[in-house]
Amino acid sequence: MEYDKNDEVYSKVVRAGKRTYFFDVKATKGRDLYITMTESKKTFSDGKEYYQKHKIFLYKEDFEKFADGLSDVVNKIKELNATGDYKTEDYRTEKDDSSVENYSEVSFEDL
């Protein structure tokens, strides 16, 4: 597989109302593939048009856990919408072995 000079391999754009999602497959210098997901939302302030952007980097070692987690919450939403059997005050989370407690906080100044 040949990579171009800016390491972009594949892109998919999903337009959804006021938001646009960009799913980009990129390559590191070592030829490892990773995904960037960007949410772009058009906003207006002082009569000018602005875009708010939020980006997530997803690395290959996390693909399966991310896909499993996303699939799980989408299925749960479908189930709850079908039954109408939920209240926000009943909100609960399920934790797996890799809970947030295993991560350290990093600020942009540390990078």
What tokens were used for 49? 């048009």
Whose structure tokens read 């991560």?
103
9 band by pLDDT with thresholds 50, 70 and 90 = very high
Map out the domains of the chain with their CATH numbers.
8-60 (3.10.450.700)
Among residues 89, 84, 101, 33, the alpha carbon closest in space to that of 62 is found at 33
pTM value? Answer: 0.66
15 vs 3, higher pLDDT: 15
**Integer distance in angstroms from the first to the last C-alpha of the chain?**
31
Rounded distance between C-alpha atoms, residue 35 and residue 83, angstroms: 34
Among residues 93, 35, 39, 42, the alpha carbon closest in space to that of 67 is found at 35
